[in-house]
Amino acid sequence: MYYAYKYRLKPSDAHREELDRHRDICRQLYNHTLYRLNEYQDEHGELPSMTTLRSEIPDLQNWWDDLSDVYSKVLQTVVERLFDNLKSLSKLKENGYGVGQLKWKPPRKFRSFTYSQSGFKLDKKGGQTVLSLSKLADIPIRLHRAIPDDATLKQVTVKKEPTGEWFATFGVEMDREPPEPPENPERCVGIDVGILKYAHDTDGTAVGSLDLSDERERLEREQRSLSQKEHGSNNWKQRQRVAECHADLRRKRRDFLHKLSAYYAREYDLVAVEDLNVKGMLESPSNSRNTASAAWQTFLSLLEYKCEREGTHFVAVNPRGTTKECASCGVSTDKPLWVREHACPACGLEVDRDANAAWNILSRGLKDVGVGHSESTPVETALSVDTPVSAKHVVEAGSPTLKERTRGERVR
């Protein structure tokens, strides 16, 4: 199993200068490799192989002195990065997207470089943990969580964020297989995601959406201030403030999504969700900003890999008609978005709109996995939710607070 562990670096001013220098050398090598790729294609009528361009690096070092200051594996990963970008463009083209050609990277667009297999290690020096990077420096690192003992460090990517902060992301290989999902899952849940209530599940739990209105207002103020600055003037501080606002929004949103997805992956044997076409929703002119802010695709991606890690069934079902169909009798009833209650004219089931959808999602998920349905109907088991759980109260799965809640009465 492969995982990524991200930590903040604490470089000194001298370290920052050296990190920026190595980053810029890698950027220049990327641009030179792109030039050589286009030149080779013009001469031979076909693209060169990655091995061909990597084999040119030793000759470049004979006249390009700065390349000798960078670890050799780092230079090779720069070439690999170029070919990875080419593969991504080819996939987009195969899927019908109009794509152009790769462009040279300006300093602001090339923010990272990677040590692969060797040239880096975590060490203890001067009473603190440091990341030792070959031909660069020993940089203090904040290990806010330990890397498992059975993990093997395969690579590390050092990246400078737009805020000016430096981070190290380790690619880690675990020497163990993920647990197999149970053949007969007992604790099963269906989740309906939305805007007003971010998640409503079949256990009667409703989690409110994260309120980031204050953060968005601050971002808009800083952006208005930046728009009044003259282009090319000494406005880096203001541009950095805008970047900090974006980073604050991103961190709070991902923290919420990580905790919520970890809770469902650890507490249940089977999790059923809708297989949403988020890209199509974003292209819709109505409510696209709230859809983007909800980050449903990110939530589903996090939930999927965490379910795999915990040995939990993850089932993405067809979302068509989950809101219209009655979870009790299956009769479809059209209802506009502003109608928040489901009232079935056939069987008389009256329940929250999102709760009805969650039950339909779970029913389809159980059918896809091949698990029999419960004899109890939603009329007997569905819980009405009067007050959603605030998103600010979502806590780390496995904490005493969450275990106390889930073992006691259901969250209202």
pLDDT digits (tens, 9 = 90+) for 77-100: 999 999 999 998 888 888 777 778
In a domain, 143, yes or no: yes
- Alpha-carbon 239 to chain mean position: 24
Provide the domain limits for residue 322. 188-407
Question: Across all residues in the chain, what is the average pLDDT?
Answer: 82
Residues 258 and 109 occupy one common structural domain = no
Which of 58 and 389 is assigned the larger pLDDT?
A: 58
Q: How many domains does the chain have?
A: 2
Q: What is the pLDDT of residues 158-205, one digit of tens each?
A: 999 999 999 999 999 987 788 888 888 889 999 988 877 888 888 888
- The confidence band for 238, taking pLDDT boundaries of 50, 70 and 90, is confident
Residues 160 and 297 occupy one common structural domain = no
Answer with the one of 112, 143, 174 that is the final residue of a domain: 174
Answer with the one of 174, 206, 232 that is the final residue of a domain: 174
Residues 249 and 391 occupy one common structural domain = yes
Q: For residues 226 and 353, what is the distance between their CA atoms, to the nearest angstrom?
A: 43
Contacts of 189 (CB under 8 A, 6+ apart): 201, 202, 203, 264, 267, 268, 270, 271, 272, 362
In a domain, 182, yes or no: no
pTM summary value? 0.79
- Assess whether pLDDT exceeds 80 at residue 21: yes
Which of 71 and 401 is assigned the larger pLDDT?
A: 71
pLDDT above 70 covers a percentage of the chain that reads 85
In a domain, 183, yes or no: no
Looking at residue 336, its pLDDT comes to 67
- Assess whether pLDDT exceeds 90 at residue 235: no
Looking at residue 402, its pLDDT comes to 37
Residues 167 and 204 occupy one common structural domain = no
- Assess whether pLDDT exceeds 50 at residue 152: yes
